[in-house]
A and B are shown apart, each in its own frame.
Chain A
Amino acid sequence: MNATDDGDVILELKDITKAYSGIVALKKANLKLRRGAVNVLVGENGAGKSTMMRIIAGVERPTLGEIWMDGERIHLNSPADAVRHGIGIVFQELNLFGNLSVAENIFATREITRGLRGIDHKAQVEKANEFLNRLEAGISADTLAEDLPIGQQQLVEIARAVSLDTRILIMDEPTSALSAAEVDVLFRVIADLKARGVAIVYISHRLEELMRIGDYITVLKDGQITGHAMVKDIDTRWIVRSMIGSDAKDFAKQVEHEPGAEVFRTEDICLPRAQGGYAVDHVSIGVRKGEILGIYGLMGAGRSELFECIMGRHEHYTGKIFVEGEELKGRDTTRRIREGLSLIPEDRQREGLVQSMSIADNLSMASLGQFLKAGFHIDLKREKEAIANAIRNLSIKAMNPDLDVTSMSGGNQQKVVIGKALMTGPKVLLMDEPSRGIDVGAKADVFRTMRRLAGEGLAILFSTSDLEEVMALSDRIAVMSNGRLVMVVDRKDATEDMVISASAEGHKTKRMHA
């Protein structure tokens, strides 16, 4: 389906390619943004939407390709460049200065000054209130940003972007933390901006929303544009088809085998939050040999924190952890690994890999103790064999294990992290969002590996915020919400609706209190 070229184009991306170390996030992507219209961008996690927007906002520079605005080629070398060209962005992650007031946040870098007398705080607050009132936010501009709940912080971000008087306004999932009423207000503001000729770029996962306010729609998949159309010509089925492609996700088929005895159990794991309440709230959970337990939850549900407690990362957690019936005494990661636990961290770059080291060194860094002769001398031959084994078993595509680990694709980097964990010989494998930031093919590989490992008798706990993933991979499904374990159910008895409604459970009670 081809989009008609009637609306006038304000900004055009031509053959943009963006490579990060380890992953090509965009491959020769073309995009046209039209003024006075809502240009919708959809795609799965990791499809490259955010990368594309960061390029337009001047945060990232494209590796290859050109950006044209109003028929002229432009270079966006910094966010300041983008602002000068009239491009504003509301980021997905909140980018507020928590220690500054709302007004100071809105006018950061373009403070209203009175010559030598410095910043005119009163005028800033007044003007900020104006913008906030337009969003019907009910926020006073002199409160500290960190004192606001997440939803209102997001409104402040939007107010800041609107106040910039932009010609192109990018909104990356602006509604993810908003209530229905707040969304309605936002949509009115968008309609107003549209009428004034602003080109809106709207990114969201919520298809109903897109159908409601979108004019043009562009679908991204694995860094490539797979569909472009006018919203009035299409339906949600079209979107899903373009997003997922003809080939449905390749989840490894369940290997039929009965899980064995329970090898791992936690009792009443609690991790207090600095602001009060619990990040992990009395979680007791068990996993059996050869079983895959999927923990589903939204952002901030406490999944990563639970894993970190289990690995002994937090000193002040309470509760008990058992491996094969024995309570674990030590509270540090080193001992936890020795006792048969291993974690694949969510943030591969920050916690998984040592970027300055080679593939081989990354694989063996956690298990060097196994290759010792005379108690201190590493037997390089045995180490090399073990590394080669790991590379073969996980089908890691590494031509030369001595190359830098950053020379590989994201999926292979993830396999290196998995390989590192497996080389320690764990009984229980914890995987925090194991498919994050890797492409479809690599995901399927990782899932197959998980299945195989479970088949070999490893107990696997993995966390995900992808519903399809948790439904397809788990033997049992646990749902966490706001730090609490709200549901544990056999895969056979689980439905998507059940899981989704459970994942909101923890927040409901909180809202009632508020």
Chain B
Amino acid sequence: MTTATQTAATGNHLSTGAALLTLMKLRTFIALFAVIIFFSIFAPNFLSTANMILMSKHATQNAFLAIGMTFVIITGGIDLSVGSIVGLCGMIAGGLIMYGVALPLGYTVYFNVVEVAVIVAIVGIVIGAVNGLLITRLNVAPFIATLGTLYVARGMALLYSDGQTLPNLTGREDLGNQGFAYLGSGSILGLPVSVWILIVVALGAAYFARFVPLGRHIFAVGGNERASRMSGIRVNRVKMFVYMFSGFCAAIVGLVISSELMASHPATGTNLELNAIAAAVLGGTSMSGGRGTIGGTIIGAFVIGILSDGLVMMGVSSFWQMVIKGLVIIVAVVVDQAQRRLQQRVTLMQMAKAG
């Protein structure tokens, strides 16, 4: 064995390693293009405007939740309760429009649509705050704390109407609470309102992650909690924020879905938390914390959305859809791990060579 060939071999190894790394880093983009190209060939009408708008509406719901989830996961936590918050918030929105709030002395207060939206958003934030308090003050592991609120919130949603759907949320003219449908079915410049809201929330979140100290601290806390604490970052405050924000995102989805259907059903949002986690992970968010981007998450949400809609259009059975979705997620994580290992090896090899 000669040293010359060995060095050449390792040198080659290094450059192919670097090329592979770049490919892996772009994997979410590649996946997005892959699904779009695949379905535009195999699914009829896939590229029609109507279908595009419909798909973006579907993907939007996941994307909202995934944005909140991304921040939570970056801090090293998880929020399983978002699906249930969607359900509960939808029910509260429906209830406020249909029945208002009954005060003692026989009065009933009705709120207009904007006020309803604000109240529902606050409810989402409060549930998020409960998650945050359980995790920071009472030291409950995020998985367990949010698993608990998952059940509690879902149970409350069912209790709210005794399991019944609240239909026909058109409101009444004399009460001034009409127009709820705008959120789910209105459109501005041809784009659905919910997509516009998503754009605002996503840009806001991306701005926040880069330009606001609290946003930067999210990454520090997830990367190394002890070092963050030693650097004077108020770790508990950061964690409270991410769970509250996640609750807020879930409330928006609750509003959007019930507005779209003009009805509130207590089982709405079941399993949506899993879609949100999948989207975040697909978008490159590391489950061990510290890494992730809003942009990646949005792409991840669209990959998942397009994948399920496209499969429906192709007539693939829903049982197979589940299998395929699961495989995509697993592959995403495997590639993610491989990328990290490769990256580490490449840098270590470079250092060892440099001596």
Residues of A within 8 A of B (CB): 17-21, 24, 27, 63-64, 311, 313, 332-334, 336-338, 343, 345, 350-357, 361, 365-366, 368-369, 372, 376-378, 380, 406-407, 409, 420, 424
**Would A21 and B344 count as touching, CB distance under 8 A?**
yes
**Would A365 and B229 count as touching, CB distance under 8 A?**
no
- Residues in B with CB closer than 8 Å to A372 are 213
**Would A377 and B347 count as touching, CB distance under 8 A?**
no
- Residues in A with CB closer than 8 Å to B231 are 333, 337, 365-366, 420
**Would B347 and A365 count as touching, CB distance under 8 A?**
no
Question: Which of A20, A343, A354, A366 is close to B223, meaning CB atoms less than 8 Å apart?
Answer: A354
Question: Which of A24, A350, A380 is close to B224, meaning CB atoms less than 8 Å apart?
Answer: A350
Interface size bucket, B side? 20 to 34
Question: Which of B289, B344, B351 is close to A24, meaning CB atoms less than 8 Å apart?
Answer: B351
**Would A27 and B230 count as touching, CB distance under 8 A?**
no
Q: Separation in Å of the B336 CB from the closest CB of chain A?
A: 13
Give per-residue flags for B311-350: 1 if the beta carbon is below 8 A from chain A beta carbons, else 0.
Answer: 0000000000000000000000000000000001001110
Bound: A409/B347 CA distance, A: 11
Residues of B within 8 A of A (CB): 210-213, 216-217, 219-220, 222-224, 226-234, 286, 289-291, 344, 347-349, 351-352, 354-355
Question: Which of A333, A355, A361, A407 is close to B347, meaning CB atoms less than 8 Å apart?
Answer: A407
**Would B219 and A357 count as touching, CB distance under 8 A?**
yes
Bound: A18/B286 CA distance, A: 27
**Would B233 and A334 count as touching, CB distance under 8 A?**
yes
**Would B347 and A21 count as touching, CB distance under 8 A?**
yes
- Residues in A with CB closer than 8 Å to B227 are 345, 350-354
- Residues in B with CB closer than 8 Å to A345 are 227, 230
**Would A352 and B291 count as touching, CB distance under 8 A?**
no
Bound: A18/B348 CA distance, A: 9
**Would A380 and B230 count as touching, CB distance under 8 A?**
no
**Would A380 and B351 count as touching, CB distance under 8 A?**
no
Q: Separation in Å of the B78 CB from the closest CB of chain A?
A: 17
The 4 residue pairs across chains A and B that have the minimum distance between CB atoms: A356-B290, A354-B223, A356-B223, A337-B232
**Would A63 and B344 count as touching, CB distance under 8 A?**
no
Give the dominant DSSP class at B's interface: helix
Bound: A297/B223 CA distance, A: 32
Bound: A386/B229 CA distance, A: 22
Question: Which of A24, A311, A338 is close to B230, meaning CB atoms less than 8 Å apart?
Answer: A311
**Would B219 and A356 count as touching, CB distance under 8 A?**
yes
**Would A365 and B216 count as touching, CB distance under 8 A?**
yes
Most chain B CB inside 10 Å of its own CB: which residue of A332, A350, A352, A354: A354
Bound: A409/B348 CA distance, A: 11
**Would B216 and A333 count as touching, CB distance under 8 A?**
no
- Residues in A with CB closer than 8 Å to B210 are 378
Bound: A481/B222 CA distance, A: 36
- Residues in B with CB closer than 8 Å to A366 are 231-233
Question: Which of A63, A332, A333, A357 is close to B290, meaning CB atoms less than 8 Å apart?
Answer: A357
- Residues in A with CB closer than 8 Å to B213 are 368-369, 372, 376, 378
**Would B355 and A354 count as touching, CB distance under 8 A?**
no
Bound: A260/B354 CA distance, A: 45
Q: Separation in Å of the B27 CB from the closest CB of chain A?
A: 19
- Residues in A with CB closer than 8 Å to B217 are 365, 368
Q: List 27 A-B contacts (CB under 8 A).
A: A20-B348, A27-B355, A63-B352, A311-B230, A313-B230, A334-B232, A345-B227, A351-B227, A352-B230, A354-B219, A354-B228, A355-B224, A356-B224, A357-B223, A361-B216, A366-B233, A368-B213, A368-B217, A369-B213, A372-B213, A377-B211, A377-B212, A378-B211, A378-B213, A378-B216, A407-B347, A409-B351
- Residues in B with CB closer than 8 Å to A18 are 352
- Other A-B pairs, 8, CB within 8 Å; known A27-B355, A334-B233, A366-B231: A63-B348, A334-B234, A343-B230, A352-B230, A355-B223, A377-B211, A378-B211, A420-B231
- Residues in A with CB closer than 8 Å to B351 are 19, 24, 409
- Residues in B with CB closer than 8 Å to A380 are 211
Bound: A77/B351 CA distance, A: 22
- Residues in B with CB closer than 8 Å to A365 are 216-217, 220, 228, 231, 233
- Residues in A with CB closer than 8 Å to B286 are 356
- Residues in A with CB closer than 8 Å to B291 are 356
- Residues in A with CB closer than 8 Å to B219 are 354, 356-357, 361
Q: Separation in Å of the B225 CB from the closest CB of chain A?
A: 9
